[in-house]
Structure 1
Amino acid sequence: MRATTTPAQSNRSTRLRALAASTATAALALTLVPGSAAAAEPTGDPVVVRIKVADQAPVDVATAARTWPTKLLKTHAIAVDGNDLVRVKRDGRKVKGDRKRLRHGDVVRLVAVDKERATKRKRVQPRVVEVPTTQLKPGKRKVVQQGKPGVRKVVALRTFHNGEPVKYKVVKRKLVKDPRPRRVLVGRKPFTVPGTDGLNWGALANCESGGNPKAVNPAGYYGLYQFNVGTWNSVGGSGLPTHASAGEQTYRAKLLYKSRGRSPWPHCGRLL
C-alpha cells in the first residue's frame, strides 16, 4: 500500500530541501577547502567557522570575528525563522548568550523547528458502579445498565527538529460526550445487628406497610417500617427509605430497635 503524505509533512520536506539548497549555494561561494576549520588560528579577520544544516555535509566559511551566528546564516542566504534553533559549539561544548559571537573553529548548527497542531477524538471508558443488594445470592453479579463510552477531544502540539518528531505535548482536553456508567448489582449477605435477628421483622413490615418497601404514607412515613426522614437519617440512612433496598430498610429498623426498642412502632411493635 502506498504511504500518504500530509500537508504538514510536505511543508516540512519542502523547507528542509530549501535549507539544503541554500547551504549548497553557500558552499559554491567558498574558496576554503573542507576541513579548513581545523586550521591554525588566523592572526586577524576573518575567522573560519563550520556550518551544519539538516543532513547536509558541513560547509566551512570565513566571517568577521564575533559575528552573531544568525547573521552569518542570513549572509549566506540560509533562512532562519523564529522557531528555529541556532546552536554554537566551541571545542565540542555548547556556548550560550554573548559567548555565541563567533570565534575561529566554532561550529554553527541550524536546527529547523516546525510545530504542528493536531486534534484527535478519544474514547472515554465508562466507570463501573457496583450496588450491593441482598436480593441476589452473595457474590452473584447482575448488570442492570450497560455502560456507554464518552468522547474526549484532545488537542496536541507536535514539535519536529529537522523533520524528526521530538516532542508531543497535549495543550487542551475537553469532554464532548459524557460516558454512561455501567451499573452492576452485587449480591451480599443481609446486614445483621446482634440481638435482633430472632425477631419477626416480616410481621412488623406486613403490619406497618403491607410488606411494600415502596409504601408512602401522606403524613411523611416511608417504606417497609414507615420511617420518617429524620429517624431514617438518625440510623445512617440517606435519601428516602423507599430508595433503599428491602434488606437495607430491615437493617436500619434493627438499628433503631437496638437503640429504642419497640417504641418507634406503637401499634405494630407487639408483633416482633
Structure 2
Amino acid sequence: MVEQETIDVSSADELITDEELESKSKGQLIKKAGQFRDRRNELNQLASSRASKRDELNAKTREKVDAAQEHREDRDELNERVQEHKEIRNELNAEANELFEEVEDRKSDLELDEGKDLEELKEEIEQLEFKQQTEVLSTEDERELIEKIEQKREEYQTRKEKLDQTEGLDELVEEAEEVRAEASKHHEKVTELADRAQKHHNEMIEAYREADDIRDEADEKHEAFVEAQEAADAHHEAFVRVQKRLRELDKEEEEEKQSQREAKRQEAKEEAEDIYERFQEGETLDTEDLRKLQKSGLL
C-alpha cells in the first residue's frame, strides 16, 4: 500500500491570524492569498483523488458482499436439498429395517438359524453310510450307526420341510436389499450436496473476509479524504479571509484617495477664492491665476 501523504489540518484562524491580517502589507497579503488558493486547489484535487479511490474500494466491497450473498444462497439451497435427501434416506432405511426385521422374525419362527444347512447334513449322512458300507462293525456298533443315520435323515427332512415353508422369504430379502440400496443412493447424494454446500460456505466466509479487508482500506481512504477536504476548506476560508482584508484595504485606499482629492479641491477652491478676492480689489492677475479662476468657475 502506498503511504498516505500526511496533512496538517489547521483552521483558517491558525493559517493566518487576525494580527497577521492587520499587520501584513497589501503585497504580502496578495502573496498569501495566492498561496492559500494554490494549496486549496491542490488539496481539493487530492481529496477528489482519495474520494475516487474510496468509491472504487467501496464498489469492490459491494462486489465481494454480493458474491458472498450468492454463495450463501447457493449454500442454503443445497442444504435444503441435503435435508430433503436425508428425510428420504431415513424413511427408506426405516422401511428396509422393517423388512429385514420381518425376515428375521420369519426365520426365527421357522428356526432357520438353528442347526446345520442341508448340504452339511447331506454330507454327514453320506459319510455315515460310507462308513457302514466299508467298515466291519460289531452288531452293537452297526445298530448305533444305523440309528445315527436315521436321525440325520430325519433332521435333514425336517430342515428341508422348514425351508420349503420359506416361500417368498428370498423375495422379501431382495426387496429389503433394494430399499436399502435406494437409501444408500440418497445417502451418497446427501454427502455430495453437503460437500458442495460446505464449499459454498467456505467461499462465502472468504468473500466476507475479503470484503471486510477492502472495507477497512476504504475507511482509511475516507478518513484521508476527510482530512484533505477539511484542510482544503480551511485554506479556502483563509483565502476568503485574506481576500476580505484586501477588499477592506482597497476600500481604505480609495477612501484615502477620495479624502485627498476632496482636500485638494477644497485647497484649490480656497486658493481660487483668495485670487478672486485679490482680483476684485484691483490686483492684476497673471495667466496662472486666471487659469485657476476659470477652473474654479469663479471667472
TM category (shorter chain) comes to under 0.3
The structure with the largest helix share of the pair is 2
- Flag the structure with larger Rg: 2
Structure showing greater relative contact order (alpha-carbon pairs closer than 8 Å, 6 or more residues apart): 2
The structure with the largest strand share of the pair is 1
- TM-score, normalized by length of structure 1? 0.21
- TM-score, normalized by length of structure 2? 0.20
